Amino acid sequence: MMFHSGGSDECLHNWVFGNGWWVGGGRGYLAGVGVLALSIWLLFDQAVVFMAKGAQDYATGTYILLAAGALMTVIGFLGCCGALRENQCLLGTFFVFLMIILVAEIAAGVWAYMNRADLNKLVQESVRDTVRRDYGKDDVTTKTFDMIQKTLKCCGAESYASWANSAYNGVGEKSPLEIGISALAPTYSVPKSCCADPDSDVCETTRKLGSLGFAASALGIVYTDGCAPKLESLIHQYFTYVFAAGIGIGIIELLGMIFSMLLCCAIRKIEDFKA
pTM for the full model?
A: 0.63
**Contact between residue 97 and residue 256 where contact means Cβ atoms under 8 Å apart:** no
pLDDT of the residue at 177? 52
pLDDT tens per residue, range 125-143: 888 888 998 888 878 788 8
Per CATH, the architecture of 120-228 is what? Orthogonal Bundle (1.10)
pLDDT of residue 36 exceeding 50, the answer is yes
- Ranges of beta strands (E only) in 2-143 are none
Query: What SS3 string covers the chain?
Result: CCCCCCHHHHHHHHHHHHHHHHHHHHHHHHHHHHHHHHHHHHHHCHHHHHHCCCCHHHHHHHHHHHHHHHHHHHHHHHHHHHHHHCCHHHHHHHHHHHHHHHHHHHHHHHHHHHCCHHHHHHHHHHHHHHHHHHCCCCHHHHHHHHHHHHHHCCCCCCEHHHHHHCHHHCCCCCCHHHHHHHCCCCCCCCCHHHECCCCCHHHHHHCCCHHHHHHHHCCCCECCECHHHHHHHHHHHHHHHHHHHHHHHHHHHHHHHHHHHHHHHHHHHHHHHHC
| Averaged pLDDT, 201-209 | 79
pLDDT for 5 equals: 45
Of 44-48, 202-206, 236-240, 260-264, minimum mean pLDDT range: 44-48
